[in-house]
Amino acid sequence: MNSNHALAARIAALESLIVVLITTEAIRSPDILDEARRLIKAGRRLSERRLKKCQDGPEKDISESAIRAFARVEALAEFFLTGKD
């Protein structure tokens, strides 16, 4: 497994863990979804800033992958909050 595949696997695993965490905490506390949404948006903004500073190559690919992962997790949190896709 080369480093790009290993990184993609780690991002996917982290994304899955975040989804599980949000789902588990949502069962315990209704306020966690709003907090999760704020944290996800903050993480996405940081990733977007990092992307602007990146050079072409693996660093840029990683930043783009992180932004896509944040978008997927953000969409899931919105689904839990609103019940709409």
> Is the pLDDT at 68 greater than 80, yes or no?
yes
Q: In Å, what is the CA distance from 33 to each residue of 4, 17, 25, 71, 85?
A: 31, 15, 8, 15, 16
5 vs 53, higher pLDDT? 53
- Confidence bin at 13 (pLDDT 50/70/90): confident
User: Do residues 67 and 44 make contact, with C-beta atoms less than 8 angstroms apart?
Assistant: yes
Q: What is the mean pLDDT of residues 17-32?
A: 68
Is the pTM higher than 0.85? The answer reads no
